[in-house]
Amino acid sequence: MKKIYGVIGDPIAHSMSPVMQNDCFQRNDINAEYFAFHVLKESLSDAVKGFKAIHLSGFNVTIPHKTTIMPFLDEIDPLAQAIGAVNTVVNDDGRFIGYNTDGSGFLEALRKEIPSFIDKNMLLIGAGGAARAIYYTMAHEGVPSIDIANRTPEKAEYLVQNCPYPVESTVLSIQGAEENIAKYDLIVQTTSIGMHPNDDRSPICLDGLKKDAFVSDIIYTPLETKLLQDAKQKGARTQNGVPMFAYQGALAFEKWTGVLPDTERMQSIVLKQLGGKSC
């Protein structure tokens, strides 16, 4: 019998996950199919009940349901519980278990470029949901020091104070981070600044950036944000959000099937959908 998987969100028509995940099922000879389900916030509880009724094998969760779905699940992985968001649900003999592969996906993408990232001086820009997933996952991984810069320092302070894993962090204003930019080997940008209609803006000035620094922006539309353009001009290495998107999907696929798919192929599929090449 064919197994059914999917992704829920509102909106969801733009999702690239079905193309990416269905290719993974086909390439690995797994009798399964992946669909996009448009679920409104007021219908979330009914949707989860319906998925259980039809024995849905697993699904991804995207905006705006990553937090609000948690009360409707049978169990939450400790890291996802700490992050406060779920992006992957596994059907384990009728029990829906929630995980978060966003932070882990970022880590795996970063590890391909910087295997020794743990000993780098790191600056995280932003304090929203994506920043929380990356911050907590990196702290869980054993990264000893992560500074956070945010337009509203109080939000960054909240992340630091509520992190259940040991990590040394200094909260900075954007101006404070700019003044200390030469300190950092690794800069990770998690805000929406750089996306349309703000694709001509950068969240931080990189004057003084180390030439051998590594700058990551989790945005993938556009493929090269102004921040990454500026970083390249300074001689830094860069990474956009495509590898993170592919790896978080690959880790979800592995949780469902026990198979880790070809992440390079997954990235190529996403890039084809976006009509560009990675930077």
Q: Binding site for NADP(+): residue ranges?
A: 126-130, 150-155, 218, 241
The residue annotated as part of the active site, out of 66, 120, 210, 255, is: 66
The count of residues in the chain is 279
273: how many CB neighbours lie within 10 A of its CB? 12
Which residue, 172, 190, 78, 192, is CA-closest to 130? 190
Which residue, 4, 17, 95, is CA-closest to 57? 4
What are the structure tokens assigned to 164, written together?
Answer: 């259940």
Q: From residue 136, how far is each of 59, 66, 80, 114, 160 by CA, in Å? A: 23, 16, 9, 19, 9
Which residues make Cβ contacts (< 8 Å) with residue 179, sequence separation at least 6? Answer: none
Binding region: 15-17, 62, 87, 102, 126-130, 150-155, 218, 220, 241, 248
For the beta sheet containing 214-217, the strands, ordered from the edge strand earlier in sequence to the opposite edge, are 171-172, 146-149, 122-125, 186-189, 214-217, 237-239
DSSP 143-178: --BEEEE-SSHHHHHHHHHH--S--B--EE-HHHHH
Which residue, 253, 243, 220, 245, is CA-closest to 21? 253
First to last CA, the chain: 41
183 catalytic? Reply is: no
- The catalytic residues are 66
